[in-house]
Structure 1
Amino acid sequence: MSFTRLTGIALDEIVTHMSDPRLAAHMPLLTGPWDRDAAASFVAAKEACWRRDGLGHWAILADGRYVGWGGFQREGADWDYGLVLRPEAFGLGAPITRKALAFARADARIPHVTFLLPPSRRKLGALGRLGAQLVGEVDYDGARFRKFRLETA
């Protein structure tokens, strides 16, 4: 697996990925249709995070093929980790997350990582095995999430 910038992925690939209705089940902020304009705005917003913070979300490749996006985004004092995979790559979540967390542990800017999960996510054992602790519930862009925190230092 490798991480690269989203700018290296064809917009049509991102549109196809984000238009899959299976994603919406656990993404309350995924509303409305995705087209090339939406994908371009999304990539531009993620690139703005890179410019502002020196870090952001990556495109994730498995065997050179785009399987999703994820990484770290600065949210106030926190570095929030997100991962959105194509349904056929859902099984890659654990190894991708291990690789991303190894990156976070090696980066002095990231003393801890947060995870925001919607209430629809019921299987949370992997977070516990990582050592993440529930810190409470938060509202983000009008949606409710459970917030977990993992110390990386």
Structure 2
Amino acid sequence: MSDPRMAEHMPLLNGPWDQDDVARFIAAKKGCWQRDGLGHWAIFYDGTYVGWGGFQKEGDDWDYGLVLRPECFGLGMAITHKALEFARSDPRIASVTFLLPPTRTKLGALKRMGVVFEKAVNYESETFLRFRLQTS
């Protein structure tokens, strides 16, 4: 999360992380699991940590997020396909939202998956573009 390449597309990321930031982040993600029974996962490839991602309840929606180490960006679509398989098998998840910053302009892969733009939304004083994929 301290890599400047990450901050380019993560408007809520406000500078380098320290151990206190990590502890707050982990506590918040654990809280999602306790509250909703689902949340983000640590993601490994061939035994190596490559990032984190998964589903987080945002109001009535299940939002999907994925943050990979920059050297692992090429794994994004394969991980996303596996996550969406999970979503389609979970009766709680009728659709998945994707909140993307306006800096994310390469959206062809999402469109090929059937993801549809809904609207711009404000989240923690930042603008995001909300897309949705029906899973049921």
Number of residue pairs the alignment of both structures matches = 136
* 1:60 and 2:43 aligned: yes
Aligned to 1:109: 92
Counterparts of residues 66-105 of structure 1 (less than 5 Å): 66-105=49-88
Task: Output the CA distance in 2 between the equivalents of 1:128 and 1:91.
Answer: 18
Aligned to 1:141: 124
Task: Output the CA distance in 2 between the equivalents of 1:29 and 1:71.
Answer: 18
* TM-score of the aligned structures, taking structure 1 as reference length: 0.88
Aligned CA RMSD, in angstroms, stands at 0.5
Task: Output the CA distance in 1 between the equivalents of 2:58 and 2:20.
Answer: 25
Q: How big is each residue's C-alpha offset from its partner over 1:101-132, in whole Å with a ceiling of 9 and x where there is no partner?
A: 00000000000000001000010001101101
Percent of aligned pairs sharing the same letter: 68
* TM-score of the aligned structures, taking structure 2 as reference length: 0.99
Aligned to 1:129: 112
Aligned to 1:14: none
From 27, 40, 60, the counterpart of 2:23: 40
Unaligned 5+ runs, structure 2: none
Q: Which runs of 4+ in 1 moved over 3 A?
A: none
Task: Output the CA distance in 2 between the equivalents of 1:115 and 1:56.
Answer: 14
